[in-house]
Structure 1
C-alpha cells in the first residue's frame, strides 16, 4: 500500500515539474541488502497536454481528496464517491482507502478498455496478478 507521502511533487533545475515515488522499506526490501535498493527512482514528468498530464492529475487529486487525508502517512488510493454534486468544493473521494482487490479489478478493467494484451502478466503495486 502506498501512502500519500510516498509520491512527491518536485521541480528540476529548469522549473519543469515531475512526480517522484519515494521507496519505503518493506518486508522484502529492508535496506539491509544493497542490491535490493532501487538505483533509479520512479519519476513521471509533466506533459504539454493539460488533460493528460500526470502532474495536473496529481494536483487535481490532491484538491479533490478530503483535507484531512493529505498527511504523509495517509493512504494514497482512496475510494471514489458514488454520488455527484454541483458544489465546486465537493470532494470526489471518501475517507476510505481502496483495497487491493478493488485496485486490481480497476487495473484489469482499464487494461481491457485500453486493448492491452490480456495474456501479458500485469500487476498493480501490490503484486495482484491480472492474467486472465
Structure 2
C-alpha cells in the first residue's frame, strides 16, 4: 500500500516568493507504476498545494501535525502516518498526540471510510463506496469539471498521461449548459422553419388570389 510507504520527507513545506504564499510540495518516491528506471516515466513537476488562510488550510494542518509528532521523529525517512496515543482520548494542545510507530495498515485503509462517515458525506447515503483512492478520483473530477486542461490536470494528479485518467464525469452544470445550448438552437431552427412555412403559405395564397389586391380608381 503506497500510503503506508509515505515518508515525512516526501512532503516538504516551502514558500513561494512570487506568490507570497506558503505551500506543501510532494516529492515523488518510487511506486509500482514509477520505479525510477524509466527516465521518461518520472514526474516532471512536483505537485503543490498552497495555503488558503482558513480553518481548512492544508498548510496549517500540516504544521499542527508536525508540532504534535514525537520529538526527533520528523526526519526524512520517518513514516508520515503515525499511530495515535491511546491512554487518553483528548490530549491537551501542548501534549504529544502520536506515537513513534507507523499507523497500522488496516486502520490506514479505513481512514477515508471513517472520515466520510464522521463528516456525513452525501455520497454515503447514495451507496457510493468511499476508499482512499476516492480522494484522487474526486480531485480529477473537480479539476476537469472546472475546465482545467487534461495536460495540466495530470501534472497535479500524477497520472502518466491524460488517457490514463478515467474519472471524467460531467457535473450537473456541465450537463445543463449543453442542454441550454441545444434547446436554444432547436428553438431558433424551429422559428426559421415556421417563418419559411408562413412565407410559403402566403406566396401560395397570392398565387390563388386569396388575397386580391384592390384596384385603385384612375
Bigger fraction of residues in strand: 1
Q: Does 1:116 align with 2:123?
A: yes
Superposed, 1:121-132 pairs within 5 Å as 122-123=132-133
Report the Cα offset of residue 58 of structure 1. 0.4
* Correspondence for 1:41: 46
RMSD (Å), alpha carbons:
2.3
Q: What secondary structure does 1:67 align onto?
A: coil
Tell me the distance in 2 between the aligned counterparts of 1:64 and 1:121. Answer: 26
TM-score normalised per structure 1: 0.79
Report the Cα offset of residue 15 of structure 1. 2.5
Count residues with an aligned counterpart.
123
Q: Which runs of 5+ in 1 are unaligned?
A: 126-132
Bigger fraction of residues in helix: 2
In structure 2, relative to structure 1, the CA distance for the partners of 1:85 and 1:32 (3 Å cut) is closer
Pairing partner for 1:68 from 72, 91, 98:
72
Q: Which runs of 5+ in 2 are unaligned?
A: 136-218
Higher relative contact order (CA 8 A, sep 6+): 1
* Correspondence for 1:130: none
Tell me the distance in 2 between the aligned counterparts of 1:37 and 1:62. Answer: 28
TM-score normalised per structure 2: 0.50
Q: Determine which structure has more spread, i.e. the larger CA radius of gyration.
A: 2
Report the Cα offset of residue 120 of structure 1. 6.8
